[in-house]
Amino acid sequence: MPRRGVLALLAAAVAGCAKPPPPPPPPPVDETLEGAINATLLDIARQLGEQAGVARVAVIDPLLDGRSGQQTKATERTTQALAAAAPKVLPGLHLLPFDEAGTRGAGWLLNGTLSALDGRTGSYRLTVALSNRVSGLVVARGVAPVRDAQLDLEPTRFYAESPSLVRDRAVQGYLETTEKPVGQPADALYLEQIPTAALLAQGQEAYNQERWDEAQKLMAAAAQREDGQQLRTFNGLYMANVKLGRAAEAEEAFGKIAALGLATSNLAVKILFRPGSTDFLGEAETYAMWLRQIARAAQGSSMCLMVVGHTSRTGGEQLNRALSQRRAQAVRERLVREVPALARAQRVRTEGRGWDENIVGTGTDDMRDALDRRVEFKVQSCT
């Protein structure tokens, strides 16, 4: 064989043994909020397959913070962006306003959460679920990372000014629905209450826009419904009546917050204190009214009450635990002052948990983590 032919064969053999070039790296993931919204919708479209373009009439229940169950400026922005993007990715989707008329005409529901990731500043997880209101099933669910240190976690006005935590059974059902695996039932109670949830959403928006009279009327309408007996309802009634200068009606509404919260052992009130102190920060007479109503609600129960103090994540751990215990004890003393009978047989006990049970956990000591500086009232057996 000619030398040239041998060299060609050797070159071919060497080329055959050479490793193929590595594949190009995957494109970077778009972790902006808008990119995450698009990713969750594309994931939902992929799960729907050939059904992605089928005509669907839907509403969006405004997204919530996955930790607190509140609406924040960030979840508000996410809801608006989701509403703009969804029909583009799911061309058969027709969105109606989330109000009573819209919920009557929509057989489909989108809801979701934006949740901060532990120990990773500016990192979040966006979850969006699509549920069939007729079958009661979660039919698709998208999850995507978000990285944005500038997201505004401040609660909307309604949640920032609510006297109590509003994460009750209705809110829990919302959150659980977003976490259900595809093909599993959405929370049944949550789906049943969608029309009332829409009414409450209208009331919250009216409050956020300082339309106090409208907010009061919407919350009062919700309070007339059996499924409107929710902490959001009575917080809204309380705040709207305060803004309208109706002190008696406001106190009556707070009494319902106290009664409902104790009946479900889910009463966490935003009683704020001066730094390092057991003195109230804010209007002392407002806190006095809250504690008066809580004491009266506790008096009507045969159970005992555990007052649990909490602090935000600033300062030393042991210092905060001791401070939260002193604050819980100070609240107990005020309850007993209102209803002396509560002092008998140690019906009101106290515990300080420092920052162990932070809900928000930012340690910013402002409106964003006000829930971390709450006082909880838990009903328990006296034995």
Per-residue pLDDT reduced to its tens digit, 132-167: 999 999 999 999 999 999 999 999 999 999 999 898
Candidates 271, 272, 268, 270; CA nearest to 258 is 268
The arithmetic mean of pLDDT across residues 257-286, rounded, is: 87
- Kindly list the structural domains of the chain, giving each domain's residue range(s) and its CATH number in brackets, ordered by start: 33-155+162-179 (3.40.50), 193-261 (1.25.40.10), 265-383 (3.30.1330.60)
Predicted pLDDT at 142? 98
Angle between helices 212-223 and 231-243 (to 10 degrees): 150
346, 329 contact by CB (below 8 A): no
Q: What is the DSSP string of 352-377?
A: E-TTTT-SS-----SGGGGGGG-EEE
Q: What is the pTM of this model?
A: 0.87
Residue type, 17: C
Highest mean pLDDT among 48-62, 292-306, 357-371: 48-62
Residue 354 has a pLDDT of 85
- Amino acid symbol at 57: V
Q: What percent of the chain has pLDDT over 90?
A: 69
Q: Which two tokens stand for residue 73?
A: 């400026």
Instruction: Note the pLDDT tens digit of each residue in 298-328.
Output: 998 888 899 998 888 877 888 889 989 999 9
Please report which residue ranges of the chain form alpha helices under DSSP H: 3-17, 33-48, 73-89, 100-105, 157-161, 169-179, 188-192, 194-208, 212-223, 231-243, 247-263, 284-299, 317-338
Residue 70 and residue 168 in contact, taking contact as beta carbons nearer than 8 Å: no
**Identity (one letter) of the amino acid at 117?**
L
Residue 9 pLDDT greater than 70, yes or no: no
93 has a pLDDT exceeding 70: yes
Residue 120 has pLDDT above 80, yes or no: no
Nearest to 82 by CA among 69, 103, 64, 100: 64
- Mean pLDDT, residues 106-113 taken together: 99
Question: In degrees rounded to 5, what are phi and psi of residue 44?
Answer: -65, -45
